[in-house]
Structure 1
Amino acid sequence: MNAKAKAIVLFGHGARDVRWREPFDRLASLWKAQHPNVLVELAFLELMQPSLEEAIGSHITAGAMEVVVVPVFFGQGGHLRNDFPVLLSACREKFPNIQLSATPAVGEDEVVLQAIIEFSARAL
């Protein structure tokens, strides 16, 4: 399997204000610069496009056979505990030939939490 057969979906909540998306666009751009052989798409739970299903479909169209969804949420609130599993299950049913997995919320990772501490310490 070549590197292009793997893909990442950076999955966020979404917001009415289009400017809320700007850090996600920067995150996707940084991913592309650092991992040019792995496809990346943004997806949103609500209020913004593309949806999770649309992002995964885009990866499949581009040839991905393995897609990892990374919830760019600070923690496992109701959306990740209730809504996200339903969406992920629906995508697994719609795309049965694709290996589809998900990570925990990024905010639960010790390295991410440490980066927030370091960011905060620079403010002192």
Structure 2
Amino acid sequence: MKAIILFGHGARDSRWREPFDRLVDLWRAQHSGVLVELAFLEMMQPSLEEAVTSLVGKGATDIAIVPVFFGQGGHLRNDFPVLLQNCRGKFQNISLSATPAVGEDSAVLQAIVDFGARAL
């Protein structure tokens, strides 16, 4: 079974996660047949490992991790690969893949341009 993890940085202010919760709601409304979980690098729960554990417990065998970051900074270049490798070691029978940061996708960048254009 396929699943997706939307992976964000995390913050001290709990309101910071509200757009991530809306992303999950949108995902579930549009892709109800594919499980989705949030995960955070730091300061918020669940962690990446906790999200993978939850999805595996629900029957997921093929999990795509989508870093909801604007670009490939130090966290995605240094911290994320270690977390992903640890999960791959713990869940050896599960396929774990990762996409580039969402901010590197041309459609996401165009959506931001369109958002800015609507503000004019």
Under TM normalisation by the shorter chain, which class is it? over 0.9
Counterpart AA for 2:51: A
Match of 2:13 in 1: 17
SS at match of 2:97: strand
Is 1:86 the counterpart of 2:63 in the alignment?
no
The yes-or-no answer on 1:99 pairing with 2:95 is yes
Are 1:76 and 2:72 matched, yes or no?
yes
Q: Measure how far apart 1:67 and its partner are.
A: 0.3
| From 2, 8, 12, the counterpart of 1:6 | 2
Q: Give the drift of 1:72.
A: 0.1
Q: CA deviation at 1:120?
A: 0.2
Q: Compute the displacement of 1:20 (Å).
A: 0.1
Please give the alpha-carbon distance, in whole angstroms, between the structure 2 residues aligned to 1:9 and 1:117: 26
Q: Distance in 2 between matches of 1:53 and 1:25?
A: 19
Question: What is aligned with 2:45?
Answer: 49
TM-score (norm 1): 0.96
Count of residues in correspondence between the two structures: 120
Q: What TM-score, normalized by structure 2, do the two folds share?
A: 1.00
User: Structure 2: 5+ residue runs without aligned partners?
Assistant: none
Q: Secondary structure at the match of 2:26?
A: helix
AA at the equivalent of 1:91: C
Determine helix, strand or coil for the equivalent of 1:100. Answer: strand
Identify which of 17, 27, 31 aligns with 2:23: 27
Q: Deviations over 1:71-116 (max 9, x none)?
A: 0000000000000000000000000000000000000000000000
Does residue 121 in structure 1 map to residue 111 in structure 2?
no
Q: Aligned to 2:39, what secondary structure does the other structure show?
A: strand
**Sequence identity, in percent?**
75
Residue aligning to 2:35:
39
Distance 2:74 2:100 in 1: 14
Aligned structure 1 segments of 4 or more residues deviating by more than 2 angstroms? none
- What's the secondary structure of 2:51's corresponding residue? helix
